[in-house]
A and B are shown apart, each in its own frame.
Chain A
Amino acid sequence: MADSAGGAWSFGSSILTFAFPMILFIVVAVALYVLYTKPEVVPGHRTPSVERPVSYTAIPGTPAATEVPGSPASAAGAPAAPTSPAGAAGSPAGDGARAGQGENAEPEARA
């Protein structure tokens, strides 16, 4: 094999050792990007709590929880407490009851 160095070398072999690996790499890189850049599609993903600045202090007359834009709850379109399903259903006790169950205090459980 060593003696044949050069003789068997062709344009096709050149493609094999440069163009093909590069294309393959791009395909793999795009696949990795598409599959794993979104936290919600990564199995068992845990979002670090430091990235989710959320105020839970309920002030009378204001929403119970103010979440930063882009956090999973707001990104998913989950409304703030006053427009939660319980509130929308006309249950005055809905918000308080849900807060008491810790639902607002544990946004991770919804993510």
Chain B
Amino acid sequence: MTTTPTAAFPADAPGALGRGEAGAPGPASGRRSAGTVARGLVALTKPRIIELLLVTTVPTMLLAQRGLPSVTLVLATLVGGTLAAGSANTINCYLDRDIDAVMKRTARRPLVAGGHGTIRPGEALAWGIALGAGATALLGLMANWLAASLADAAILFYIFIYTLLLKRRSPANIVIGGAAGCFPVLVGWAAVKGTIAVPAIVLFAVIFLWTPPHFWALAMKFRKDYAAAGIPMLPVVAPAVEVTRKIVWYSYAMVAATLALVPYAGWIYGAGALGLGGWFLAEAHRLHALVARAGPSGANPGATGSARPAPIRLFHLSIGYLTLLFAVVAVTALLPWGRW
């Protein structure tokens, strides 16, 4: 494992905060304003990721209700889900602060001493636990305890299975660990129904199968970063063409899973899922073809413009795909027609 700045420099030590890697004063030297701390605490929750989790929760609630659930329940579930995801992300930042310092993409996170360094590790851990407790209480009291238990399971899965067990050890880290990101649909369904049903499990499957293409596309872009941090993401340990082949496999499995919801969600949803699935598959195949043409290394110095493999394009497309797919779920749940 790479020696990191924080490994040689205990960030929990008094006075550690705010110093740069070479001991130079960092942005958090001296007293921190409340605004700085607040911004740091919010940044630890990774709000951009939470946004995507919530995009999947509300349509699932609409589908479970076959209409609009009570506004109070929707708000409670959204706030509870936000707190739960924020808790998992914050504790993840706490545990991964050593490798975050090594990776360019994460080097400016609030816990990285050489980056922003605005939050002490102990504060981050306490913040993460408090968010988790708040999520449990809110979901349990305002929705039901099954929803609260599922949110807790997601937090624990993300921390113990993904972050601590798999992330630094297995190329399957994001595949299995990605299941944590599928829980919001179960939470949303359970909040409305008090149980779990087949449509919720199908949506769980959709996100589970969507996660590898999404993250492997990102990891292809930041392959050197992950390699420097010693994280065995698939693009780090496998040839690029093998990664894109797996992306294509998972994409087909994901599209098949989206179609499994058709008997429940109706033909309008089916048409939308088919169209969006075709779009995703076309992009996955395009990436695979470009990478295969580029050779084993995945880099084709001679290629220019659209002929150059651009995995980040699939990454962005995957976000749009999931958002649109769940938008279709929401619309079909609200429409009085369009079902079988």
Q: Spell out A's residues near B (CB within 8 Å).
A: 1-2, 4-6, 8-9, 13-14, 16-18, 20-22, 24-25, 28-29, 32-33, 35-39, 42-48
For A13, the chain B residues whose CB sits under 8 A away are 171, 237-238
- Which residue of chain A has the shortest Cβ distance to B175 in the bound complex? A21
Q: Are A45 and B144 in contact (CB under 8 A)?
A: yes
Q: How far is the CA of A83 from the CA of B90 in the complex (A)?
A: 58
B223 at the interface (CB under 8 A from A): yes
B4 to chain A, nearest CB (A): 15
Spot the interface stretch: B98-106, B123-131, B200-208, B319-327.
B200-208
The yes or no answer to B16 lying at the interface (CB within 8 A) is no
Q: Given A32-B196, A32-B201, A45-B195, decide whether A21 and B176 contact each other with a Cβ distance below 8 A.
A: yes
Other than A21-B175, A33-B198, give 13 A-B pairs with Cβ distance below 8 A. A2-B236, A4-B237, A5-B235, A9-B237, A13-B237, A13-B238, A17-B175, A17-B238, A37-B198, A38-B195, A42-B146, A43-B146, A47-B194
Interchain CB contact under 8 A, A17 and B172 = yes
Residue B253 CB within 8 A of the other chain: yes
Bound: A17/B236 CA distance, A: 13
Contacts of B186 in A (CB 8 A): 32
Residue B17 at the A interface, CB < 8 A? no
> B63 an interface residue at 8 Å Cβ cutoff?
no
13 A/B residue pairs, CB under 8 Å, sorted by A: A1-B232, A1-B237, A2-B224, A4-B237, A5-B235, A5-B240, A13-B237, A14-B246, A17-B212, A17-B246, A18-B249, A32-B196, A33-B198
Chain A hits for B172, CB < 8 A: 16-17, 20-21
Q: Quote the shortest CB–CB distance from A111 to chain B (angstroms).
A: 12
Most chain A CB within a 10 A radius of its CB, from B175, B179, B223, B296: B175
CA gap between A4 and B238 in the complex, in Å: 8
Which 7 A-B residue pairings sit nearest by Cβ, starting from the closest? A2-B227, A6-B239, A36-B196, A21-B175, A44-B145, A9-B238, A1-B227
Contacts of B208 in A (CB 8 A): 25
Residues of A within 8 Å of B230, CB to CB, are 1
> Given A29-B204, A46-B144: A5 and B236 within 8 A (CB)?
yes
Question: Secondary structure at chain A's binding surface: helix, strand, loop or mixed?
Answer: helix
Chain A residues whose CB sits within 8 angstroms of the CB of B176 once the complex forms:
20-21, 24
Decide if A8 touches B196 in the complex (CB within 8 Å): no
B-side contacts of A42, CB under 8 Å:
146, 194-195
Report the minimal beta-carbon distance from A38 to chain B, rounded to whole angstroms. Answer: 7
Residues in B lying within 8 Å of A, measured CB to CB? 144-146, 170-172, 175-176, 179, 186, 190, 194-198, 201, 204-205, 208, 212, 223-224, 227-228, 230, 232, 234-240, 242, 246, 249-250, 253, 296
Whole-angstrom distance between the Cβ of A35 and the nearest chain B Cβ: 8
The reply to whether B242 and A14 contact each other, CB–CB distance below 8 Å, is yes
Give CA–CA (A29, B186) in the complex, Å: 11
Chain B residues whose CB sits within 8 angstroms of the CB of A22 once the complex forms: 253
In the complex the two chains form, is A25's CB within 8 Å of B179's CB? yes
Determine which of A6, A20, A44 lies in contact with B146 in the assembled complex, contact meaning CB atoms within 8 Å: A44
Given A2-B227, A28-B179, A36-B196, are A45 and B146 also a contact pair (CB < 8 Å)? Answer: yes
Question: Could you say which residues of chain B place their CB within 8 Å of the CB of A24?
Answer: 176
**Contact call B237/A25, Cβ cutoff below 8 A:** no
In the complex, the answer to whether A1 meets B196 with C-beta atoms within 8 Å is no
Please give, as numbers and ranges, the residues of chain B lying within 8 Å of A1 by CB-CB distance: 227, 230, 232, 236-237
Give the docked Cα–Cα distance between A21 and B175 (Å). 6
Residue contact B145 to A33, C-beta cutoff 8 Å? no
Given contacts A1-B230, A8-B237, A43-B146, contact A37 B171 (CB under 8 A): no
When distances are taken between beta carbons in the complex, the residues of chain B under 8 Å from A29 are 201, 204-205
CB distance from B216 to the nearest CB of A (A): 9
> A39 touching B195 by the CB < 8 A rule?
yes
Please tell me if the beta carbons of A37 and B246 are within 8 angstroms of each other in the complex.
no
Q: Are A6 and B205 in contact (CB under 8 A)?
A: no
Kindly provide the distance from the CB of A55 to the nearest chain B CB, expressed in whole angstroms. Answer: 24
Partner of B238, one of A6, A32, A36, A47: A6
Known contacts A1-B227, A2-B224, A46 near B246 by CB under 8 Å: no
Residue on B nearest A47 in the bound complex, by CB: B194
